[in-house]
Chain A
Amino acid sequence: MNTVSKVLAALALTALSACGDNFEPGYRVASPRILAVAADQPYAAPGATVNLTALGHDPGGRTLEWAWVTCVNPVASTPIACFAKAAADASTGKVAFAMGAERTAFSFTVPSDALSSLPASTRSAATVGVLAIACPGKITLEPTPNVAFPIRCTDATGRALALEEFDVGMKRVFVRATDRNANPAISMVTWNGAPWPESEVKEVRPCADAGSNKFDDCKGDTPKIAAELTRASFESGLDEYGVPFKESVVTQYYATEGLFQNPTRLGSSTETAWGARRGTSEVTLWIVARDSRGGASWTTRRVRVRG
């Protein structure tokens, strides 16, 4: 336990010191992004076929080419480990990338030995990782320059894009013999407390300068936005290994422009505030709900900025 003090020191130091950066916030979709992937079966049994759907966006309006590949039981279930495993398996022909323009859906079958190949003590951590790549151009199986990354994305001019100019993500499908998980569901979105149907385009005036990255800079219209989650979204119980669980459900907000007060909310307290920056005309907002067992769902809204 002698690492405790250093970790806590780092926590305090980090918390005290890292508040001064002015990086562009991650909720602002300023480059090609994969915001979410939902599985029809977040918990799937060996042999089951799982269907995935992706939410992606390129603010440049280019057509996204997608590539999909799976990794079974990656080390520590991390995206990096999944990518390493998938790349190794692809190089030996064990798995193949499924690719196509605007291919935002993907299906795969959970290997029948995905559980049985693991020691009994670690089966509760069994997953199939699904890698998704969204490229505003052409995907090839070559290394990305300056990064030991075996996928290359080139734009229409043939330029190899840096990793931050396209997006790679990993979605886990948990492998369980009998447990299942339902995706969280967003029943309604509200704008200043009133229902906000998907078809309605709201209007606001900008509240901050174009260069601002802090919500505190907002002086003016900052409507309250909230998502209502169904009661069924919050699952709890005892899993098939006898371990009690209680899902955490988070609501995450993304937008092509603007400033969120709290881009991530926990549980049923989903309300946040949002303001537009000057120089913006139309903004797309996405509200993504994720549970702590791999479930996800989303909805989209649009806002017009006047003045």
Chain B
Amino acid sequence: MTHTSRCAAVLAMLSAVLTANPTSAQEPATKSSAVLVAPKLVEEVVPEYPASKTASGESAKVVVTLTIDATGAVTDAVVATSGGEDFDASALAAAKKLVFEPATKDGKPIPAKIPYTFAFEVEKPAAASTVKAVANGALRGVIKTGEDAPLPGATVTIASHGKTVATTTTDANGAFAFELAPGGYRVTVTADGFAPYGSDENVAEKSVTAVTYRTTSKGAGVEINVAGKRPPREVTVHSLEGEEIKKIPGTNGDALRAVENMPGVARPPGGIAMLIVRGSGPADTGVFIDGTSVPLAYHFVGLTSVFPSEVLEKIEFYPGNFGTEFGRHMGGVVDVRLRSPKKTWGGLLQFDLLDGRFLLEGPISSKTRFLVAGRRSWVDAWLGPVMKGTGADLTVAPVYYDSQAVLEHDVTPTTTARLVAFGSSDRMKLLFSSPPAGDPITGLSVMTRFFRLQARTDTRFGDSARWINMVSWGIDEGRQEIGDRYLDITLRPLNARSDLRAKLADGITFIGGLDFHYVTTHVDLFLPPMPQPGDAPSPFFARPATALAFNAKWFRPAAYATLELTPAKGLKLLPGVRADWTSDTSQWTFSPRGIARWDVTPTFPRTTLKGGVGLYHQPPEPYQSVAPYGTPGVKVNRATHYALGFEQEITRFLEVSVEGFYKDLQSLVVQSDAATSAASGTTFSNAGSGRAFGGELLARYKNDGRFFGWIAYTLSRSERKDSPSGATRAFEYDQTHILTALGSYKLGEGWQLGARWRYVTGSPYTPLVGGIADLDAGGYSAIAGAPWSARSAAFHRLDVRIEKTWKISGGSVSAYLDLQNAYNRKSPEGRSYNYNYSKSQPLAGLPILPVIGLRGEL
């Protein structure tokens, strides 16, 4: 009967499943998911070494910001990092003679801005003299990054008349050397994460040609200003892209789990996958896939999110003070963007401990391309035996699937249409060969699946306006069973959005649109009244159940408008308002919001002050408001967000952001016992209130091609009152200190090593102080102590990821080890109780867990 306590806890937690709520939907403004290619240097110009410096022979580096037009010509050059007056002048003179292939978006030339580094060095005779005299000639050199660091592992290829004559790899100092016959050669440098670089060199007989090349990292150091791509408009938005998403240790390459490493995000108790943002509940933060809300962000147990990282372009995370285009949530927003299919054929196969996945993409015609991907878990194949091995008297069969299909077509040069279908399925069943004595139910099962079909058009009207229209329809299905009790829910959500962004005049841009959400649902249940979060566990067996079947629908249209004002250079003001109608509460809400950003120093190193205040409304969950299960008359939740902070560039790659926040929560929906007069056994009211406040620090080193990482620290407090006269208590997800330090470094030779360490204050919990026997079940019903009055010990953990990549013809193969909880810390994740709740002990989380995977990519 040692399983009594465990299974009581299982049941209590499973009961929360049955409070299942369809997530309210809204669509964020969509941005282009087009493929951007940085400008490529066509004609290099070597600046003249200033005569005034010849005597001193000093070296210098000048970083110039180049403005390159759609033809590839440099139309402007501004010194970003000075090397001294004379060096600057020489650099600017050379810069304006550079010629590029223009940046492209989906193959179309566009204007761009990039940093470009000129290095001034006097060739030291000593260096040349160290080179052994050769009969032919020699080419020796060093490859450096834009930050002047040597670049080991880069491939240097020598070609003559179009034919490769030699290839080598730079050493730990970024150096290379060739012995060559006299003549002209094309030298090409390639390295992971860096733009290819090419140069023509002449090698003379019996002499050494010494060169230094600098290559620019892809993406990180290149700022492409695409017409219509908006500059920052939020107080804070954290973006995660490409390699960062895939290579963060401890996440197994999962995109959404990567978000949990950002400041403001608490660690869910038990490592359960959900987003707890700035002291808000998990349901307060919305997750959107390309503008469409999804009912389930993670597959069960939170091992992975419902979208594989390979199909994502980026994730934008708004921890608060988001714009008017986002509604129906009062916590944060996670905006997940699907990427466009490539215009060339590509594919991926990956297998690891959790699942297998594939991806195939390519062109259908010059204007049309596609992507299909799918994933299937095989946790069921090994978790059951593992659990039996631990003595758990359970049979577990967890399975998840997900799939995605994207068809994209260029309708006109200015309009792109996209049809997307995606879906997810989770099934899990626990069958008790010998039922838990504390609650002798026969088993538990959970099934959830959803499907979305989304059509979207994106039209640009020159550089001044952009109009995005989206409509999506889908089905959400869920079935949960506890013994012979069950809950079936089917939802059919229809979402539509029309978003217009137009430049009205210099310094004035309009952002506005309509956002509709309509849902029909059918519910069929046979259940006892469901406990709510925080209720003490109680057996299910033999509890009287109510059979109920009903249909319901709700309609939540909204309109929003924001003006983006630039009254002075570097100053941005964004006043806006959102109006929402909620049919299930018969309520209009108006949410005025204001955001300000001021680039005190607009050029590098940029300093920005930022702040915002806004009102946010969130409809109650349908099970709270929609009769007959919910309580008619319940109103929407309300939050006021305040934020103030600054951002400071330290180097081109290192930036620090500090922000304070305060969130005032009012009219929160809380449960109140009301005998059995309601079908749910409880009623809901807006008697709750609360607040959350704190500060966040993010020191982030952007991906420079070899390294990325950050330190995120959050100090916060979140409190709630369940009634106006009630006592203030800690919010169940309150965590005082949240520290994440992570980094990932390319060692060279295809090796990459990363680590993440987290420290989080223990979560509050409600102690259970005893039990009353349920004589129909033979188990005990717990008596709760003061709500959320106790706290678990702190959590800390180290995760390590090591990956080796082999280049193969046309692609790559990688093998990786994601070692989670590397020093096997037994962090408490809750408490285990004895049969009558009179004794307890900490419940340790997952032990050290190695996840090994293999991945092939074309």
Contact = CB atoms under 8 A, between A and B. Distances in A.
B776 A172 contact: yes
B677 A119 contact: yes
A266 B442 contact: yes
Interface stretch (B113-121, B158-166, B536-544, B744-752): B536-544
Nearest to B544: A125
Interface in A5-24: 5-24
Interface in A217-264: 241, 243, 245-246, 248, 250, 252, 260, 262-264
Contacts of B678: 122
Contacts of A294: 542, 776
* Main secondary structure on A side of the interface with B: mixed
B679 A121 contact: yes
Contact of B773 (A7, A76, A81, A169): A169
B776 A11 contact: no
A3 B426 CA distance: 13
Given A2-B283, A248-B483, A250-B435, A17 B843 contact: yes
Interface stretch (B8-16, B232-240, B330-338, B604-612): B8-16
A111 B775 CA distance: 21
A136 interface: no
Given A263-B1, A288-B778, A292-B542, A1 B273 contact: no
Contact of A73 (B20, B543, B676): B676
Given A4-B426, A248-B483, A264 B435 contact: yes
A154 interface: no
A72 to B, nearest CB: 10
A264 B547 contact: no
B545 to A, nearest CB: 7
Contact of B544 (A19, A119, A172, A290): A172
Interface stretch (B138-146, B290-298, B356-364, B587-595): B290-298
How large, as a class, is the contact surface on chain B? 35 or more
B272 interface: yes
Contacts of A36: 775, 778
A26 interface: yes
A147 B767 CA distance: 12
A80 B387 contact: no
B775 to A, nearest CB: 4
Nearest to A28: B1
Interface in B289-322: 295-302
A122 B676 contact: yes
Interface in B218-265: none
Contacts of B19: 3
A187 to B, nearest CB: 20
Given A4-B17, A5-B301, A26-B835, A164 B770 contact: yes
A297 interface: no
B390 A19 contact: yes
B777 interface: yes
Contacts of A148: 783
Contact of A292 (B444, B483, B676, B775): B483
A126 interface: yes
Interface in A124-161: 124-127, 132, 146-149
B783 A121 contact: no
A260 B4 CA distance: 14
Contacts of B299: 5
Given A11-B10, A75-B674, A248-B484, A4 B836 contact: no
A127 B272 CA distance: 36
B782 to A, nearest CB: 8
Contact of A19 (B6, B448, B682, B780): B6
B463 interface: no
Interface of B: 1-6, 9-10, 13-14, 16-17, 19-23, 268, 270-274, 282-283, 295-302, 383, 386-387, 390-392, 394, 396, 398, 426, 428, 430, 432, 434-438, 440-442, 444, 446, 448, 476, 478, 480, 483-484, 489, 526, 528-529, 531, 536, 538, 541-548, 628, 673-679, 681-682, 769-784, 829-830, 832, 834-836, 838-839, 841, 843-846
7 contacts: A3-B21, A16-B387, A26-B1, A27-B1, A76-B682, A266-B434, A266-B442
